[in-house]
Structure 1
Amino acid sequence: MQADFFQHVGGSKLQVKILNSALVLFVEKGYFNTSVPDLVAHSGASIGSLYKHFGDKQGLAEALMQRLTEEVYQRETKVIAPCVSSYSRYKALVSWLIQFTLDYPAVMSFMLLARHQTFLPESASLCSSKPFMLLRDVIAQGIREGEVRQMDLLIAASLAFGSVLRMIQLHLDGVLPKSIIDYQAELIDAGWQAICADPTAKPTNLK
């Protein structure tokens, strides 16, 4: 059984329980098929508490998206904080994305597979959210530092992380023949070789 994701966000324990329930139910049943009574039964909160803290189901979905992207972003920044090179930041992020998927499949399913703009029409594309922008920024830093070759940033970011995110989607769909961990080393090597400025440099020599 996966652990609850929201444990460190601001707010009461009851708010955290409701957010965790919304995350699970929106993934398992879909936003439109999840009712307020479903949320109440799953979280153990009262209808009054749900409306008091989030207004309504859409308000809950908006809070879920906002807090989820912020929490993921904060975790990403901690992952790359000790890294001293573009390669080490890239490797750390890919390794983290894969382990995070194993630890919190509901979060990755919600971020990658849910059609957010069908129930949050005013929200920006998830691709422009802070967690995904950080992935792009890491590649942009690599270009500035000369570890990643000069190329269009969107293409570089797609080459670096596109295959990783696709494999995560396949894992979430349950169609990979092996554990996603078994693909990690090759994904890192292939992604880095696609963008690195010096393909002859061995990653083992990069810190």
Structure 2
Amino acid sequence: VEYLRPSAPRDMWCGIAALLALGAPIATGLAARTSLNRAVHATLAAVLLGLVGAHVIGSAQMLDSPAKVAAACAGLALALAWSQLQPRWAGWRTQWLPVVLPGTLTALALLLLAAPPAASRLLEPVVSRPEALALAFPHEKHRDVNCLVCHHNYADQTGMGSCIDCHRTSRAALVRSSEATFHVFCRDCHVARAADAVKHGPTRACSGCHH
């Protein structure tokens, strides 16, 4: 149920939208006998690729490094460019608007998503939650990590409250929501430890931390 709330991250909603929209390009492609149907099909296909790219990049389930993200974005952008060069689009009076423009905008958006700041914004909730989602944090399983890795406030004296309570305030220094901050911080640490073949926390399943 939490995945379907407005407070779910943007990347999840992109995945849901892509799943719901999957049938539209198929239906318009099968019925692409008129120029209008083909124009709608080309536009929907570009939007679908953009939504899939945003979901995969934001979730970081398969693309867990900047190089993989850049390669995936470039691959999707090339697929869009290749489709626009097909002979079936030749001779269209309205080629620019239904085919070239959506494909170009989607390709540019995918390339911009390869930048780390853009990817982290996909983890922002669509609507902020009034309270934090229940979180299980077994402190005893994190004792092999330097305390200051998480408790930076001990060094820079930025506060002595709990991590979540502090990061849910509206201080100007906090450029990201608490959800996006901890999803990036905790997940990246878990992924890095997994790559080093050492004991690590959840890297994919949400229920590993949110019971």
TM more than 0.5 = no
User: TM-score when scaled to structure 2?
Assistant: 0.33
User: TM-score when scaled to structure 1?
Assistant: 0.33
Greater C-alpha radius of gyration:
2
